[in-house]
Amino acid sequence: MIQVILKRLLMLIPVLIGITLIGFMLLQVMPGDPASRAMGTRASPEELAAMRRLWGLDQPLWVQYLYFLRDCVTGSFGVSIFHKVPVIALVAERLPFTLGIVAYSTLIALVVALPFAILAALKRGTAVDGAIRQVFVALIAMPPFWLCYVLILWLALGQGWFPTGGVGQGVVQNIYRLFLPALVVGLSTAALIQQSLRAALIDTLKADYVDTARAKGLTGAQVFLRHVLPNSLISTISIIGVRVSWIIGGTVVVEKIFSVPGLGSLLIDAIVARDLPVIRGLTVFFAILVVIVNLITDICYALADPRVRLE
Amino acid sequence: MSLLSIRDLRTEFTTPAGIVRAVDGVGFDVAPGEIFGIVGESGCGKSATCRSILRLFGGAPARVAGGQILLDGVGDLAAMPERAMARVRGRDVAFIFQDPLTALNPTMRIGRQIAEVIVRHRKIGRAEARAAALDLLRDVQVTSPERRLDAYPHELSGGLRQRVVIAMALALSPRLIIADEPTTALDVTVQDQILRLLRARRDSAGTAIILITHDLGVVSQVCDRVAVMYAGRIVETGPVREVLDRPAHPYTRALIAALPGQAARDADLTPIEGSPPGLIAPPPGCRFAPRCRLARPDCALGAPPALRARTPGHLDACILSEVPDVLA
């Protein structure tokens, strides 16, 4: 197991070299001059030239790329032109909020999806199943930005139960303050989980080994909890894995609306400011996270299903 | 006194096309320690009959619509609430499913799956149940049983898995085991071992067995009595030697004639023309009449003919007083 994990991590190196190359090249195509963005419109040509020299923007492309590689290897991922601090420091500041939203929203998704998936599967084909399906399809169809504003208007401004945005100090306060953004992200995850888990449950309920379990004299609840649910949940693991990869960089809108200083909003700010080192550094960092999440997903899968082996 | 006595059993499946009467007035008795075979083509209702006994329909929209399933000392299983039924399953009556590849939970270790049935019905600790599971694996002649306890089903061969399924069925020494085509999914050598295992259990513990199969060879090898089913009804029943050597019903004869014989090759194989009727609206009268070479006009009239005895203990449902021996 450990060996397989190490091997998978080693295989990450060529992937990352490819990603640095693509990320670097794409940014060269992007219009806009980082120096003039950083200095403002009133900077003189001499000042701009000095700025370019300072950040290495006057060097040939391949030299710039090698500098970038050096920064990745040394772990700083470059220095932000705008913030003037290493990219890794910016990431470290914001990563906890992003991971917080990942964990929090996944928890909410499971709490919401599990009972409704079970109910829908047990009542499949009935009006109850149909009604649940309609609600969850609506959840998938709902644009997150719209849901954000509805929740802010209703629960934050209307009822005054939650703040309209921002983060606080410490875990407890953030569990409260991050509830609405985590809810928005979690509800669409819940919709995905509910649909796949319902299908998996219906499949498993027909499985021969469920009849075997009933033939042993187990009660309906015992059969369900020991045989049906665990085997059905295996397919949910990969859904959560895919969702987590997406949430890490893809929750920009929610982070912006709720003023959560996460990685998504850091990336958007960097793009707007043409802060090349931050964009590049984040690209590589996201790639690393996605690969790690995939590895964790595969490990969980192998642990949950003895037929699956890590390779 | 019979152990199991089924009277006028009716089982229905609700399908989009209508109600399928898969079992339509089936009755038979199984004595203690008897191996009772049920044979017939696919879809004749043999499996549905046996699944009705423990009400295990694999999530299919089926229900026992009528009749009695009297288990000696327990009562009418057909009228029993689910809760009481759960106490009968595994303890008084055990079930062996057809495909050992899918009958075991893929994510649970063998030992736990066997122990589960013991823990369910007896007040017993985890370690004791595990020891009992080990003994059961030995009983069904699993090689190196200690190692298998912690194995997952996919790590075992088909024959070993069927032994594990049988071990679970034997766990509480039930009085009746229902085996639904227990050897169909296995290759011939393993088939033989499994049948011997079941028969040895009957000989040593007096366990009655209902054996469902489409293989007349299996029937003649292990069964004491047999029932031949066609289109949801029993058409002939009696002691195995009687039924196989002197079949009375034209369907039984056709079935035996359709077997590859020992003497000649092609000449012996007589296929039955046509296919079984649909069970949503079965034909009137004898259900085999449309395919029967001996059918007369009055065969296809009224209710399906009832079973009656030509010789004591050997019953058939053909209305002809003398069945001409043209097929055998």
- Give kind and range of the element (H or E) at residue B30: strand B18-30
Per-residue pLDDT tens digits for A193-251: 999 999 999 999 988 999 999 999 998 899 999 999 999 999 899 889 988 888 887 78
Share of chain A above pLDDT 70, in %: 99
Residue A124: per-residue pLDDT: 87
Nearest alpha-carbon partner for B179 in B191, B187, B188: B191
Please indicate whether residue A81 or residue A202 has the higher confidence score (pLDDT). A202
Nearest CA distance, A270 vs chain B (angstrom)? 47
Q: What pLDDT does A304 receive?
A: 87
Query: Is residue A277 scored above 70 in pLDDT?
Result: yes
pLDDT category of residue A260 using cuts at 50, 70 and 90: confident
Cβ–Cβ below 8 Å for B97 and A212 = yes
> B59 to chain A: nearest residue by CA?
A206
- What's the CA angle centered on B92, arms B87 and B98, to 5 degrees? 100
* pLDDT score at B111: 92
Q: What is the rounded average pLDDT for all residues in chain A?
A: 86
* Per-residue pLDDT tens digits for B161-188: 989 999 999 999 999 999 998 888 788 8
A22 pLDDT exceeds 80? yes
Question: Could you tell me how far CA A39 lies from the centroid of its own chain?
Answer: 33
Decide if pLDDT at A80 tops 90: no
Nearest to A197 by CA among A234, A223, A224: A234
**CB contact (8 A) between residue B97 and residue A205:** no
Q: What is the mean pLDDT of residues B37-52?
A: 91
pLDDT band at A20 (very low <50, low <70, confident <90, very high): confident
Sequence letter at residue A68:
F
Minimum-distance CB partner of B90 among A216, A234, A307 = A216
Cβ(A113)–Cβ(A126) below 8 Å: no
Render pLDDT for A90-103 as a digit per residue (tens, 0 to 9).
Answer: 999 888 888 888 99
Contact between B49 and B96 (Cβ < 8 Å): no
Percent over 90 (pLDDT), chain A: 22
Q: Answer for the pair B6, B27: CB distance below 8 angstroms, yes or no.
A: yes
Could B59 and A205 be called an inter-chain contact, meaning their C-beta atoms sit closer than 8 Å? Answer: yes
What one-character-per-residue DSSP string does B250-312 give? HHHHHHHHTS--SS-STTT--PPPS-PPPSSSPPSS-TTGGG-TT--GGGGSSSPPPPEEEET
Percent of chain B with pLDDT over 70: 95
**Contact check, Cβ <8 Å, B107/A306:** yes
pLDDT in tens, B56-97: 988 788 999 989 999 998 999 999 999 999 999 999 999 998
Amino acid present at B206:
G
The pLDDT assigned to B325 comes to: 64
Among the partner residues A215, A227, A304, nearest to B105 by beta-carbon distance: A227
pLDDT of B324 reads 67
* Mean pLDDT, range A274-300, rounded to an integer: 86
CB A256 within 8 A of CB A269: no
* Rounded average pLDDT over B17-31: 92
Which residues in chain A are contacts of B91 at CB distance < 8 A? 217
pLDDT single digits (tens) A157-170: 888 888 877 787 87
Task: Work out the average pLDDT over B243-258.
Answer: 88
| Integer CA distances (angstroms), A231 to A215, A226, B34, B100, B286, in order | 18, 9, 38, 18, 46
Residue B260 has pLDDT above 80, yes or no: no
pLDDT band for position B239 (cuts 50, 70, 90): very high
**Which residue of chain A comes nearest to B114, CA vs CA?**
A216
Interior angle at CA B86, CA B83 and CA B92, nearest 5: 130
Q: Name which residue leads in pLDDT, B259 or B159.
A: B159
Inform me whether the pLDDT recorded for B26 exceeds 90: yes
User: What pLDDT is recorded for position A247?
Assistant: 84
At A180-190, the pLDDT tens digits run 888 989 998 89
Q: How many CB pairs under 8 A join A and B?
A: 82
ipTM attached to this prediction:
0.87
Count H helices, E strands: chain A? 16, 0
Contact A212 B83 (CB under 8 A): no
Smallest CA-to-CA distance from A99 within A292, A302, A295, A300 is with A292
Domains and CATH numbers, chain A: 2-87 (no CATH), 92-304 (1.10.3720.10)
Mean pLDDT across the stretch A148-156? 85
pLDDT at B326: 57
Neighbours of A140 (CB within 10 A): 13
Which of A122, A209, A232 is best to mutate for the B interface (most B CBs within 10 A)? A209
Task: Using CB atoms, pick whichever of B89, B104, B108 lies closest to residue A214.
Answer: B89
Q: Which of B51, B83, B95, B107 to probe by mutation at the A interface, max A CB count within 10 Å?
A: B107
pLDDT confidence tier of residue B328, bands split at 50, 70 and 90: very low
Of B82, B94, B106, the CB nearest to A215: B94
pLDDT digits (tens, 9 = 90+) for B268-297: 567 777 788 888 888 888 989 888 888 888
Rounded to whole angstroms, what are the CA distances from A115 to A166, A193, A206, B43, B89? 31, 11, 20, 37, 29
Work out the average pLDDT over B184-193.
83
Alpha-carbon gap, residue B310 to B260, rounded angstroms? 28
Q: What is the mean pLDDT of residues B199-212?
A: 92
